[in-house]
Each structure stands twice: as C-alpha cells, then as structure tokens.
Structure 1
Amino acid sequence: MNAHARRTGGMAALVFLVALCLRPAITSVGPVLGDLGADTGLGEGALGILTALPLLAFAAVSPLVHRMAARFGDDRAVLVALVALVAATVVRSYAGDAGLWIGTFAIGAAIAVGNVLTPVLVRRDYPERVSLATGFYTAFLTLAASAGSALSVPLAHLVDWRFSLVVWAGLALLVALAWLPRIAGPAVHSPALEPVPVPHHPSIWRWGTAWLATAYMGLQSTTFYVLATWLPTIETSWGTPAATAGLHLSVFLLLGVVGGLLIPRLLRDGRDQSAGMLVATAPLAIGTAGMLVWPDALPLWLVLLGLAQGASLVAALTMLSLRARSHGEAAKLSGMAQSLGYLLAAAGPFAAGFLAEHTGSWTPTLVLLVVITTSQTVVGVVLGRGGRR
C-alpha cells in the first residue's frame, strides 16, 4: 500500500479526531472565567487579555506554518502540534500565574498549526470528496467546541476550574498516539502549501478583494470569540445560573453545525453570492441587537446567533476559495486572512472585558457587537458581489 492509499484509508479519518482537539481548550475557558478570576485575582480587563492570547498566537503563528510543514512534513507537523498542545494545556493549569499566561499563548500556537494544516490534509486525503470531508471536519470541530463549553462547569464543580481545563490534554494525547502511524515512511508535503506562481496579483496585499475577505474573516472571528468568551458571563450577570449559561453556550455552538451545513446551497460558485452572504451574516446583527433591546427573548437570539455563527464561518472560508483565481492565490489569500483576521479578533474579548470592567455594565459590549456584526454584514454583501479587483 503506497503512502497516498494509506492516508485515504482508515488513517485518513484520523484528521477528524485532530479537529476534536482544536477548540475545547479555548471554549472551556469562558464558562469558568468567574472562578478563574476569583482564584487568580484577575479582573475583567485582564481576563479579556488572557482570552485574547490564543487569537494573538493564531495571528503570529499562522504565516509560519508553511515553513514548519516544509521542514517536517504535514503529518509530522500535526503530531508536533498535538504534543505541544498537551504540554501547554498542563502548563496553563498547574504552572502558577506565569504558566497561566505562557500556557494560554502556547495553546493558541499549537492550535494555529492545526487550523492551517488540517483543512489542507482533508483536501489532500479526500480529493474526490472534498465537500463531504470538509463538512465532517467542520462538524467535528464544532461538536468538540460545544463539548468544551458544556462540560466546563460540571468538571469545575467536580474538582476545580484547573481540572476542567486540563482534561482536554488527555484527549490531545490520545489523538497524538493514534496519529503516530501516519508519520511512518517519508514525509508527505501538501501541494497546497508549495509555492505556486500567482497570476495578475504578485502582491496579495495590493488586492482590494483580499482586504475585504480579510475584514470579513476578522469580523466573523471577533463576533464568535467575544460571544464564546463572554456570553456565559453576560448571562450570569442577568441572573442565569452558571451551569445553565454554559449549556446555552453549548447550544449556541451546536447550532453552528446546522448553519454551516445549510449555507453552502446559497454560496455556490458563480459571480454573485451576495444573497448567501446576507443570509449568513445578517442574523448576527439581528441577534446581538435583540440581546441589547429585548434580553428576555434570549433563547430566540441564541438560535439566530448560533445558526449564523456557523454559517458565517463557512461563508468566510468559501469566499477565500471562490475569490481566488489559482491554487497559489488561494493559499496566499488564506494566510493573509487568517493572520490579520485573528489579529483583529484578538482585540474583541479584551475590548468587551475592558468595557464591562470600566462601565459596570455589559450594555456597551452589546453595542460594540451590534456595530461589529452590522459592519460584517455590509462587508459580506460587497464581498459576495465579487469584491474589488
């Protein structure tokens, strides 16, 4: 059996297990931020910085993944990332105050490698079933994110918040062990990461559409991570029990699977996807505005926000593919959008915590979210029309 056949058999499916490791270490933090802050003495502003660290790591590390993959091979790079994720998760919980910060950043760095390489592996190992495999990958990613938020508070009640965060190191360790057979034989490099000449646009930074795609990715990520980080805290400030707020976050994340599976029908290849971009994104603006003006209808807003956050993520990734005119251009566009997009998103949790700490209310944060989601909707529609050449 040659290397390609081996990776399109049972071992190819292991990439979906890697997807299980790419979100729980982050989404498990939001529901226990109150306990974490009380134990460490960190206020909302500092907690906002802490939760932004993984996103800063995404922005810093994503452009460097190509070099790592070129040196080690794609499969070996993923294994290194999984092992690093195990170590960083343990350091975050049990290496003191410094370890909390260092481990959090290292978790983001390890996950960044997975963020970049696992979709590439899906395309490489399932060349005839890319859409179906990508759907499975996204579903595993979202389900794991939901599990991280849903189990966080119960595990914290069982032991403490440190334990509720460190348990995900066990999952990463198991996946790393299962991944070992994939590194047997010569290193396999993905063609998607090899340098390919880009026609017409030697510099992606001078392309208007690239900036629109980057802005959409950044705004989408900002909305998601602000809600994933602070939604439980906002709810508890309204009197919702912590366990219920964590469950609500889990539902919010699970609904993303549904939204992500439905929206591709409206984003088929063609000249104009503006209607699909509007359907994917406008509910975010409606939902955040609804939380601001009618918080008693929170279940309704959670449904809208949950469906839309999954749909808008798929929309962001789809636009990176549809707007690129070559394989090499797609790789360059993806690198730019992920790096700058996550850098923008990193400011979101910090700004939300800062506003709440200095105003004593979550209303300014919700106003900020309305502005962000409205801007995202406008950018999405323009990008859907073809952007700017």
Structure 2
Amino acid sequence: MVTPSPPITATESSSVRSVDGQSRAANLLLITGILLVAVNLRPALASVGPLVEDIRQTTGLSNAWLGLLTTLPLIAFGVISTLTPLFTRRFGIGGTLLGAMALLAFGTAMRSIPWLPALYFGTLLLGIAIAFGNVLLPSLTKRNFASRSGFITSLYSAGMALGASLAAGVSIPLANDLNLGWRGTLGVWAIPAMIAFVVWLPQASRLKKSEPGRSFQAAMKHLGRSKLAWQVALFMGLQSLTFYVVLAWLPAILISRGCDASYAGWMLSLSQAMGIVGSLIVPTLAGRTADQRVFVLLMALIESIGLAGLWLDPQGWIVLWVSMIGFILGGSFGLALLFIVLRSKDTQSATELSGMAQSIGYLVAATGPMIFGGLFDFSGTWFYSFVLLFVVGVLKLAMGLGAGAARTLD
C-alpha cells in the first residue's frame, strides 16, 4: 500500500530544523558527526582494489577468494541491516553509531596482522560496523533534517564517495612509497575511524532512544508485502552491485589491458572522485521534485554509454568512460538513499525501510564481485562480465522507475 507524498508545511519545516529544542550549533555538530561517519564507511572497502595484485602475490589467493574481500562485507551488510532497528531501540541511534565506529576501527586494524584468518575476520567485523552506518544515516536525515533531505543526503553520500576516492588514490603510494605494505595500508584506515568515534561521543547521549513502536516482526512483515519497498530495495541492490564490481575490478580490467598499477589505481580514484560530484548533484536536484523517474532514465542512459565505452574503447578515452561511470554510480547511490527518506513517513519507518532496502540490496550486491571475477576466470575474457553489467542496468532501470514515483509507504 502506498500513498502520495504530502507536502511539507511551513510549521513542519521549521520543526525539523531543530529537534528537541537543539540549537543551530548542536545541529552543526550533528552534521559534522554525520559527515565524519560517512567518510569512514568506504575506505576499508575501496583500499582493497588497488592492492589486489600485491595481496595475490603475497598470499597466492585466487580471484574468487580475492573477490570475497569485497563480498564478505556485503554479506554482513545484508544480514545486519535488517536487525539494526533492534539495536536502535536498545541503544538509540547515537549509541549504535558510536559502537559501530569503535568496531570499524578494531576490524580495520585487525587486517594489518600478518595472519590470513585475521584478514578475513577483520573484514567481517568492519562489514558489520559499516552496515549500521549505512542504515542509520538515512534515519538521521529523516529524524533531524526531513525538510532538507536532498541536501543532507547529498552531503553524506558525497562524504562516502570522498572516503572511497581518497582510499583508492593513496593505497599504492602508502604501500610502496611509504613502505607500509598492503597490510599496513589496509590497517591505517583505523585512524580516521577512531577520530569519528571521538567526535561522535556527544551524540551518543543526545540522540535518545526512540519510543517503542510496532514490533520488529510486524514491520518486516508489512514491508515484505509492499511492492514499493521491494522496488527501493532492489534499486539499492542493483546499483550497489555495479558499484562494488567497479570498486573491486576496475584496476584489474585496466591492468589486463596494458595500464600500470599506479595508473589503474588513480583511474579508480577518479571514478570515486566523480562519484562525489554525482552524489552532490543528483540527490540535491532530485530532492526538489516529487517524482524522480526522469533522473532514473537519464542516469541509465549515461551509465550505458560509459560501460560501452570502457568495453569497446579500452585504450582510448579511458578518463571519459571512467568519469561517466563514476558520476552515475555516485549519483545513483545518493538517489537510492534519497528514496529511503522520501518513500517513508517518519523516522521509525525510515529505519525499517533502510534496514530492509540495504539488507536485501547488499545481499544482491554481494553476488557481483565474485560472479564478475568468476566469469573472467571461466572465459578468460571480460566480455561476459560486461554483459552482466548491462543486464543489471536494465533491471535497475525497471526498479528505479517504480521507486522514483511520487508516493510513500502506507
């Protein structure tokens, strides 16, 4: 069941700008905390791609096992995301995010231990931590900044893209020029996670626990019957599948076509940097309209052109194709997060929809890196891997057209 999205009145607009009588300074501190959390949600993942060859040479792992370093966090996203409302009812949004930042720092640091099981266990822990952040940032937006949802979504989705771009760009210099090696480079991202933990400390008590609402089982049962909720979830999953395939395999694709590792790493960084631009522009513009289907159509067209260019013109305008792909991946991710805010009625429903969308979405996305790499292992060519991305693009367009219509969950 869905209903048309109601307009926000002047009274409602003013009330969401200051929650529980908080001052503008308190809201500014909250936005700063949100941005720091957002910046930390991608470096632990984005730093793996440029280091794949170093990890392979040291450990002898196959492409499938290397793909698991990206897939394992996505599985954690899928399992933990649905359970997040249980944690927020016990610890509140602030307390849950504080614990997530501590777990993220611990799991990231564990990957620097020279023991193969520690690499995978640390990856699992940081995936659990990131899952909480993924789910709760849209909830915070709905709770504190509903009248500015497009702008706030743009800010933190751009922050996530910034973290990914930075990690992708500096991983090779950190490993080689500073002699940290791949283990030290993976572990260094525990430092910004600890900074986010410290900055977020005041929010743990300020963002109080939500009032008990409908049961967790009732919420999931209701959402499971909603066509709109499934469209939002599958759009989230399909765009994430493409994102994590690019994150994991773009450097390997370019290296296989004659590029050196440093250039391939910077091309991945460029794609993430363009993702920042897409994350800033698309949700801001889309949040100003009740219906976002035109944005879904335009992004599907641009993504198809970029993928076709990267496939058919591998040694030509690589910068252009990578930039187009990165812009769309950033924009579509921001749009997926915006759908969660716009299609829900209140903070509780936003948390529930976010949990479902990201749980189902990331379970779908988790299949991407391993299948993409597995298709190359099986065929010895990237042809079938690219066909997979085009099929995903068609499905994403269909789900986006449904999720983008001007309506809300009943």
Name the TM-score, length of structure 2 as normaliser. 0.85
Aligned equivalents of 1:256, 1:327: Cα separation in 2:
27
The aligned counterpart of 2:239 is: 220
Contact 1:282 1:374 in 2 (8 A): no
Q: Give per-residue Cα distances to partners, 1:146-176, cap 9 Å, x unaligned.
A: 0010011111112211111111011111221
Q: 1:189 — aligned with what?
A: 209
Structure 1 unaligned residues grouped into runs of 5+: none
User: Counterpart in 1 of 2:398?
Assistant: 378
> Retained in 2: the 8 A contact 1:15–1:122?
no
The answer to whether the aligner puts 1:142 opposite 2:172 as a matched pair is no
CA gap of 1:253–1:290, structure 2 versus 1, over 3 A, is same
Check whether the contact 2:161–2:272 (CA below 8 A) recurs between aligned residues: yes
| Unaligned segments of structure 2, at least 5 residues | 1-19
Say whether 1:250 aligns with 2:269: yes
Bigger mean CA deviation after superposition, 208-217 or 155-164:
208-217
Q: Quote the residue 2:362 is aligned against.
A: 342
Residue 337 (structure 2) pairs with residue 317 (structure 1): yes
Aligned residues: 385
> Could you tell me which of 288, 294, 297 is aligned with 2:317?
297
Q: Which amino acid aligns with 1:358?
A: F
1:97 aligns with 2:144: no
1:341 match: secondary structure: helix
Quick one: distance in 2 between partners of 1:314 and 1:103? 27
Partners in 2 of 1:200 and 1:79 — Cα distance? 25
Aligned AA for 2:265? G
Following superposition, the deviation at residue 319 of structure 1 comes to 2.6
1:113 maps to 132
- With 347-356 and 5-14 compared, the bigger mean Cα shift is at 5-14
Answer yes or no: is the 8 Å Cα contact 1:58–1:109 preserved in 2.
Answer: yes
TM superposition shift of 1:23: 0.6
Does residue 229 of structure 1 match 2:248? yes
Deviations 1:178-235, CA, capped at 9 Å, x for gaps: 333333x5761257x95499x9996221222222222211110000000011101111
Residue 237 (structure 1) shift: 0.8
Query: How far apart in 1 are the matches of 2:304 and 2:76?
Result: 28
Paired-residue identity, %: 37
Letter in 2 for 1:35: D
3-state SS, counterpart of residue 240 of structure 1: coil
Q: Which moved more, 1:221-230 or 1:203-212?
A: 203-212
1:357 aligns to 2:377 (yes or no)? yes
The secondary structure found in structure 2 opposite 1:93 is coil
The Cα RMSD (Å) is 2.8
Whether the 8 Å contact between 2:340 and 2:353 is mirrored in structure 1 is: yes
Q: Which sits farther off after the overlay, 88-97 or 335-344?
A: 88-97
The within-5 A match list for 1:11-26 is: 12-26=31-45
Distance 1:388 1:120, change over 3 A: closer
Tell me what 1:260 maps to: 279
- Whether 1:178 and 2:199 are equivalent positions in the alignment is yes
Seen in structure 2, the aligned counterparts of structure 1 residues 146 and 316 have a Cα distance that, compared at 3 Å, is: same
Q: Find the counterpart in structure 2 of residue 203 from structure 1.
A: 222
What is the match of residue 170 of structure 2?
Answer: 151
